[in-house]
Amino acid sequence: MAIKKVFVIGAGTMGNGIAQVSAQAGYDVTMSDIKDEFIQKGMAAIEKSLDRMVKKEIIQESEKTAIVARIKTTTDNKDAKDADMVIEAAPEILDLKKNIFKQLDGICRPDAILATNTSSLPIGEIAAATAKPERVIGIHFMNPVPVMKGVEVIPARQTSAETLEASKEYVKKIGKEPCEARDYAGFIVSRLVDALMNEAFWCVMDGNKPEEVDKAVKLCLNHPMGPLELCDLAGADVVLHGLETMYEEFGERLMPAPLLKNMVRSGDLGRKTGRGFYDHTQK
């Protein structure tokens, strides 16, 4: 099927990034959220991102204007009725996502692709909440969306071959590379990176300094960012949620480290609260 209109649910960090790269690729985009203030913040983030691209001479000012013009906004998901593809980027709460997909079932065209941008939740269970599970798929973008090249594409057991191929083509058209993953908790990326972060938490509990752990990973393993820096960027609460999801599926080998739980209980979530493994209040 030909995808021309993309409807993005959620104007937060992931949603506005998805809306931006879709509009950059020439798609007609509508971005929705539950409040107009969230939409305004999302559009401001898109403009700021595009301004950086203009400054770096990646795009011209006229291109930025055209990209922004291709993005409409709404607080009503009923406006997804004409979309060829809907990409949900709501918070990582399974019941919330299932409810959104149930609503979309009665709104969208029968041939529309319904995609979820989850990092660890079961695609099959989300698909089962709809009357046409064959059109449901996982499309997991990395953060920051405009920068990161890879995108996980996760078919459920029910997903049709047509839905899978159309989703891969969409990912290629927005200038990214699809990585097909199986529908188990964490897929490929979250499963591997969360396992690395979790072991880094245990290293800190063993007495290693966070900055030494990150330095070792960056310099000895050639990672661009250390696992504890990454945890602070993503949010300890987000990492804990992912590990708990995978612990439920895979058992003890992905049991969250007690240090991570302690940090979440204490509100030390990383950059968004000003303190995690590092002090971000002065940055």
Domain boundaries, the chain: 5-180, 190-266
* CA–CA dist 191, 59 (Å, integer): 35
Domain 190-266 part of CATH 3.40.50.720: no
Report the pLDDT value the prediction gives residue 282, as an integer from 0 to 100.
82
pLDDT(1) > 90? no
| Rounded Cα–Cα distance for residues 258 and 23 (Å) | 42
The average pLDDT across 29-47 equals: 97
Give pLDDT tens digits for 72-123: 999 999 999 999 999 999 999 999 999 999 999 999 999 999 999 999 999 9
Answer whether residue 283 shows pLDDT above 80: no
Largest CA distance in the chain: 56
Instruction: Say what angle helices 61-69 and 13-24 make with each other, to 10 degrees.
Output: 110
Q: What CATH architecture applies to the domain 5-180?
A: 3-Layer(aba) Sandwich (3.40)
Q: Does residue 136 sit in helix, strand or coil?
A: strand
Provide the pLDDT confidence category of residue 2 given band limits of 50, 70 and 90.
confident
Same fold? 5-180, 190-266: no
DSSP state, residue 281: T
Tokens of 199: 């072991």
pLDDT category at 266 given cuts 50, 70, 90 is very high
- Percent with pLDDT over 90 in the chain: 97
pTM summary value: 0.91
| Tens digits of residue pLDDT in 137-187 | 999 999 899 999 999 999 999 999 999 999 999 999 999 999 999 999 999
| Mean of pLDDT values over 254-266 | 97
For residue range 3-24, list pLDDT tens digits in order: 999 999 999 999 999 999 999 9
pLDDT in tens, 49-65: 999 999 999 999 999 99
Distance, C-alpha 40 to centroid of its chain: 20
Q: Which pLDDT band, with edges at 50, 70 and 90, does 46 fall under? A: very high
Tell me the mean pLDDT in the region 224-243: 95
List the 150-155 sheet strands across, edge first.
71-74, 28-32, 5-9, 85-88, 113-116, 136-141, 150-155, 177-180
**Contact in structure between 7 and 79 (CB atoms under 8 Å):** yes
Residues 106 and 138 sit within 8 Å (Cβ to Cβ): no
Considering Cα of 262, then 263, then 264, then 265, what sign does the dihedral take?
positive
